[in-house]
Amino acid sequence: MSAIKAVNDFVIKFANVNGSGSASANEMFARSILRMGVPVASRNIFPSNIQGLPTWYEVRVSGKGWLGRRGGVDMMVAMNPQTWDKDIASIDANGYLFYDSSRQIPQSRFRSDINIIRMPLTEIANSTYNDPRQRQLFKNIIYVGALAQLLGLEIAVLEQLIGEQYKGKDALIAPNHKALRLGFDYAASQLNGLCGLKVERADAVGDRIFVNGNEAAALGCVYGGATVAAWYPITPSTSVAESFQKHCSKYRVDPVTKKNNFAIVQAEDEISAIGAVIGAGWNGARAFTATSGPGISLMQEFLGLAYFAEIPAVIIDVQRGGPSTGMPTRTQQADILVCAYASHGDTKHVLLFPEDPRELFEFTAAAFDLAERLQTPVFVLEDLDIGMNEWLCEPFTWTDGQTYDRGKVMSAEDLESGKTFGRYLDVDGDAIPWRTLPGTHPSRGAYFTRGTSRDRYAKYSEEGSVYQDNMQRLLRKLETAKSLVPAPVIQLAKENARHGVIYFGSSTPAMNEAMAALEGQGMHLDTMRLRAFPFCDAVSDFILAHDQVFLVEQNRDAQMRMLLVNECGIDPARIVSVLNYDGTPITARFITGAISERLTMKSKEAAE
């Protein structure tokens, strides 16, 4: 039978049971490939429970540096009897199955068009270790050792990773090294030559880092000067707050007093969390919350208040599969509308769409400037794929010496000097009024903040004209926002293109690969990556410059298309949706297929 042969270009998937300790072994496996200079993209597919259910870890090895999901599986490491049949079925023809042959499995449950690599992992572990927990944990290391041998990973790299992982707990290093060797040696003697997939040392990683988005967002909050975090646990956003806590413990404790330059409140729910963020923002601290879809739903009323009363707030929404509790451990881009138009009545909010952890770090830090400059909530829309998976991305950078843009806040000096203060007065023509902070001046600048209509001097009013004046200014403020938010990234095809593709957020790596593939097939398209809402003119210019554009998104209802059509006044006929919404990250294969099919259809139609 033939077998796939590939160097630095394959997908290997681990099927495990959660809570079995496989996660860290698998991650070490992926990291070792990176250390050999070969790019890797890894994704966890985990259940909404704590222990005992199926979980998968998918590692894409790509010397060319394609970091989206590719689709398909070249090798399955099948460690979970519960999902055996499904796992076997998902292997590409001529691919590999690596499994624990300690247990007898009837012939009927294998496939004849795949290559089977058997290793009695449990037997080996049981004969080496007595403690049941050790047996379990080291079994994972043993298979990593075996895979190292099969794929050609450098064992020294793995040994070093073990050393780093257990720094401080040095007693654990030697036993792990031993387990690794055990697997390696077994494979060398028993499985040699069975595997046509290989990793070869390369120089394609550079100084890139391997980091998950939630950690990046949390660091962005630290760098952006957030001092108040209020949150409520919800998958997949929980690690944003937890990681903020961790970073703060490192970076934000006053070296002298040992006191904290930050405050984190685990609120009793999301309503309370956003309430605290708004209270803090009103009172001049940079504050944020991190949540996911259900939390955004609960925050709607407060978000309307923040819009209307003009209070800065940063909301990190780590999107998951909706609606309702939906698929809490799957990814989607389906909170676009509920964020853009959050709350009843006429509202529009600022949204940012980072493409990867690095941009997420930057955008999150920038969100605090934006929120204070615009005096309004700013949403950072990431998703489970970016947030909870380690992504290979450019190292984070920061320009020292920059200060924060605290926006238009009148100081005691300003007030003392007699500057006119009207809380909702558009003195600068950019529709952004000046504000004051509580406690600033004994007799000037105090005003009453409310969610009801009021005049330019913050006085309560039920006058229609006063209300309308204010609502129009709020629209103009969003115009100002267009020049402040990150502009789209436009990439022109090598040849003059009649079609364009629009995309955003976590679809980026798959898009990059898909574009290269389409180009390879002679299909040239310009691309535009959206990075923020409201859309600046460049966005509609791009659409209008093409006969038709594809819009790639990860939701059912083409929510971004709706936003574009509505806000840019675009004929929807110009925008063709490419939608992936089954909860798994979009793949290059899917995008390529969808676009090429439609382009081919069109050129056929044209030819007829």
Partner 1 sequence: MTYIVKPKLRHPGIAINKLGFTHRDYEGTVSTLCAGCGHDSISFAIIQACFELNIAPHRVAKLSGIGCSSKTPDYLLGQSHGFNSVHGRMPSVVTGANLANKDLIYLGISGDGDSASIGLGQFVHSLRRGVNMCYITENNGVYGLTKGQFSATADKGSKSKYGGSNMDSPLDLVSMAMQVGATFVGRSFSGDKQQLVPLIMAAISHKGPAFIDVVSPCVAFNNHAGSTKAYEFVRLHNEAVNRLDIMEPRETITVEYAPGTTEDVELHDGSTLRLSKLDADYDPHDRIAAMTYLQNRAAAGELVTGLIYMDPDASDMHANLNTVDVPLNRLSAKELCPGSAGLESFNRSHR
Ligand X SMILES: Cc1ncc(C[n+]2csc(CCOP(=O)(O)OP(=O)(O)O)c2C)c(N)n1
Residues 15-54 that bind ligand SF4 (CB under 6 A): 50-51
With CB under 5 to 8 Å by kind, the binding choice for 262 among partner 1, its own copies, ligand X, none is: partner 1
Q: Residue 535: phi, psi to the nearest 5?
A: -85, 130
Q: Residue 115: phi, psi to the nearest 5?
A: -100, 130
Q: Which of residues 210-249 bind partner 1 (CB under 8 A)?
A: 210-211, 219, 222-223, 225, 227-228, 230, 232-235, 238
Q: How far is CA 282 from CA 268, 397, 422, in A?
A: 21, 30, 16
290 is a contact residue toward ligand X (CB under 6 A):
no
23 is a contact residue toward partner 1 (CB under 8 A):
no
233 is a contact residue toward ligand X (CB under 6 A):
yes
- Shortest Å distance, C-beta 400 to partner 1: 5
Q: What is the DSSP string of 22-70?
A: HHHHHHHHHHHHHHTT--EEEEEE--SSSSSSEEEEEEEEETT---SB-
User: What x-and-dash track marks residues 342-361 binding its own copies by CB under 8 A?
Assistant: -xxxxxx-------------
User: What x-and-dash track marks residues 66-85 binding its own copies by CB under 8 A?
Assistant: --------------------
Nearer to ligand X, 270 or 335 (CB): 270
Of 116-124, 291-299, 304-312, 570-578, which segment contacts ligand X by CB under 6 A?
291-299
Nearer to ligand SF4, 54 or 95 (CB): 54
Q: How many CA atoms lie within 13 A of 106 on its CB side?
A: 3
Q: 């099969």: which residue's tokens? A: 150
What is the distance of C-alpha 485 from the center of its chain? 19
291 touches 270 (CB < 8 A): yes
Rounded to whole angstroms, the Cα distance separating 161 from 141 reads 12
55 is a contact residue toward ligand SF4 (CB under 6 A):
no
- Shortest Å distance, C-beta 233 to ligand X: 4
458 is a contact residue toward ligand X (CB under 6 A):
no
295 is a contact residue toward ligand X (CB under 6 A):
yes
Choice from 77, 125, 234, 388 touching ligand X (CB under 6 A): 234
Nearest to 40, CA basis, from 319, 354, 318, 389: 389
Nearer to ligand SF4, 51 or 403 (CB): 51
Mark residue 258 as left, alpha or beta (left: phi above 0; alpha: psi -120 to 50; beta: remaining).
left
569 is a contact residue toward its own copies (CB under 8 A):
yes
295 touches 316 (CB < 8 A): no
For the record, the structure tokens of 368 come out as 């605090």
Choice from 13, 330, 529, 531 touching its own copies (CB under 8 A): 330
- Shortest Å distance, C-beta 509 to partner 1: 18
Number of residues that bind ligand SF4 (CB under 6 A): 2
Rounded to whole angstroms, the Cα distance separating 99 from 505 reads 36
- Shortest Å distance, C-beta 43 to ligand X: 22
- Shortest Å distance, C-beta 398 to ligand X: 32
Q: 132-151 and 22-35 are packed helices; what angle lies between their axes, rounded to 10 degrees?
A: 30
450 is a contact residue toward its own copies (CB under 8 A):
yes
The 10 Å CB-count burial string (b at 16+, else e) for 227-259 is bbbbbbebbbbbbbbbbbbebbeeebeeeeeee
Nearer to ligand X, 442 or 451 (CB): 451
21 is a contact residue toward partner 1 (CB under 8 A):
no
Rounded to whole angstroms, the Cα distance separating 406 from 7 reads 51
118 touches 94 (CB < 8 A): no
Q: Which residues pair with 256 in a beta bridge?
A: none
User: What x-and-dash track marks residues 281-310 binding its own copies by CB under 8 A?
Assistant: ------------xx-xxx-xx--xx-xxx-
Q: Which of residues 500-539 bind partner 1 (CB under 8 A)?
A: none
- Shortest Å distance, C-beta 167 to its own copies: 36
Nearer to its own copies, 153 or 558 (CB): 558
Choice from 24, 283, 521, 566 touching partner 1 (CB under 8 A): 283
Report CA dihedral (170, 171, 172, 177) to the nearest 10 degrees: 90
327 is a contact residue toward ligand X (CB under 6 A):
no
Rounded to whole angstroms, the Cα distance separating 227 from 262 reads 4
326 is a contact residue toward ligand X (CB under 6 A):
no
With CB under 5 to 8 Å by kind, the binding choice for 588 among its own copies, partner 1, ligand SF4, none is: none
Nearer to its own copies, 301 or 519 (CB): 301
325 touches 266 (CB < 8 A): no
Q: Which of residues 96-125 bind partner 1 (CB under 8 A)?
A: none
Label residue 124 exposed, middle or buried (CB < 10 Å: 0-12, 13-18, 19+): buried
Q: In the complex, which residues of this chain contact its own copies (CB under 8 A)?
A: 47-48, 293-294, 296-298, 300-301, 304-305, 307-309, 321-330, 332, 334-335, 337-338, 341, 343-348, 450-453, 462, 464-465, 467-468, 471-472, 475, 555-557, 559, 561-562, 565-566, 569-573, 581-584
Q: In the complex, which residues of this chain contact ligand SF4 (CB under 6 A)?
A: 50-51
